[in-house]
Amino acid sequence: MNGIINVLKPPGMTSHDIVNFIRKKLKIKRVGHTGTLDPNAAGVLPICIGKATRVVQYFDDFSKSYRAELTLGYETDTQDKYGEIINRKAIPDITSDELEQVFNEFKGKIQQIPPMYSALKHNGKKLYELAREGKTVERKPREIIIHNISIIKNYDNKRVLFDVECSKGTYIRTLCNDIGKRLGSLGCMTFLVRTQVGDFKIENAYTIEEIEEYISNGRLSSIMMPLDSVLKHHKLVKLDQKFYDILKNGGKIKLSDHNYKFNSESHRGEIRVYCDDIFIGMGLVEETAEGTILKMDKVFI
């Protein structure tokens, strides 16, 4: 069984809990998630099964979207409502226009310092493990991209519900904390749901209970996405079926000697390789003195 399930992770389960649940139900080991979602958060968590675990790395290229709530006036050690309150600060008078302006200041490329309560490592130890020991270590700012951020509901300038689309490595907890400080107060994330990862949307996600039912009925494959569904942003080449065995075994062929069809004039970098309509994997095209050479890089069949 190979494919990707769009899972709606419930609050209270870790991303690895979801992986273990599916491993146990399907009795297979090759199951992996595509990016950690906070245990107390809910939302989209694509799960790769079987050979689809080899496309996990491509999810790093996708932007992620969230709906979150920022509460002003205090901050916690975890930067969300589940931590210990470590500081309070009065909320200054803020107009709706000023609030909107500050949110807009966070659009684009910005620097963000990862929180101590995170799975990042320092000298081989996870930061949240150090934080639980009462330790704090220096973390270097990292560049992230906020593609879009928009206020959905403003509750008297004390609580703000907003949507954000961002790059990988973005901590929404930290974003709330930083916005709170920029507004002259403090900020804490009090709600979070991930609404989209690439083309995987929350309205098309399946709950744990629904997935369990599909497994029990032997119909899980009906809700699984194929491996190449996450690679469609890569260019592709289609070849005759006669090259199937060569490509399946990781070989290379001279394209200039055969009939082939690119879906784009530019074909540098990794491309999807098909024999007729069968997806073989990812290949690399090289222009050499002998002609155009296609070499398989990753075989998925």
Q: Specify the range with the lowest mean pLDDT, choosing from 136-145, 169-178, 229-238, 258-267.
A: 258-267
Q: Which residues are catalytic?
A: 38
pLDDT of residue 264: 55
Characterize 10-22 residue by residue with b for buried, 16 or more Cβ atoms within 10 angstroms of its Cβ, and e for exposed: eeebebeebbebb
Per the DSSP assignment, residues forming a β-bridge with 7 are 45, 206
The yes or no reply on domain 64-197 and CATH 1.10.150.120 is no
| pLDDT, tens digit (0-9, with 9 covering 90-100), for 170-200 | 999 999 999 999 999 999 999 999 999 999 9
Q: Is the pLDDT of residue 260 over 80?
A: no
| pLDDT, tens digit (0-9, with 9 covering 90-100), for 99-129 | 999 999 999 999 999 998 888 888 888 888 8
Q: Is the pLDDT of residue 259 over 60?
A: no
Q: Specify the range with the lowest mean pLDDT, choosing from 19-28, 201-210, 228-237.
A: 228-237
For the chain, what are the domain ranges? 3-62+199-229, 64-197, 234-299
In CATH terms, are 64-197 and 234-299 the same topology?
no
φ, ψ (nearest 5 deg) of residue 204 = -110, 10
Q: Is the pLDDT of residue 247 over 70?
A: yes
124 sits in the region (left: phi over 0; alpha: psi -120 to 50; else beta) called left
pLDDT of residue 258: 63
Q: Which tokens belong to 230?
A: 């996450």
Percent of the chain with pLDDT over 90: 70
| pTM score, whole prediction | 0.89
Q: Which CATH class is domain 3-62+199-229?
A: alpha beta
pLDDT of residue 160: 98
Q: Check residues 265 and 227 and name the one with the higher pLDDT.
A: 227
**Helix/strand/coil percent split, the chain, to 5:** 25, 40, 35
Q: Which CATH class is domain 234-299?
A: mainly beta
φ, ψ (nearest 5 deg) of residue 193 = -140, 135
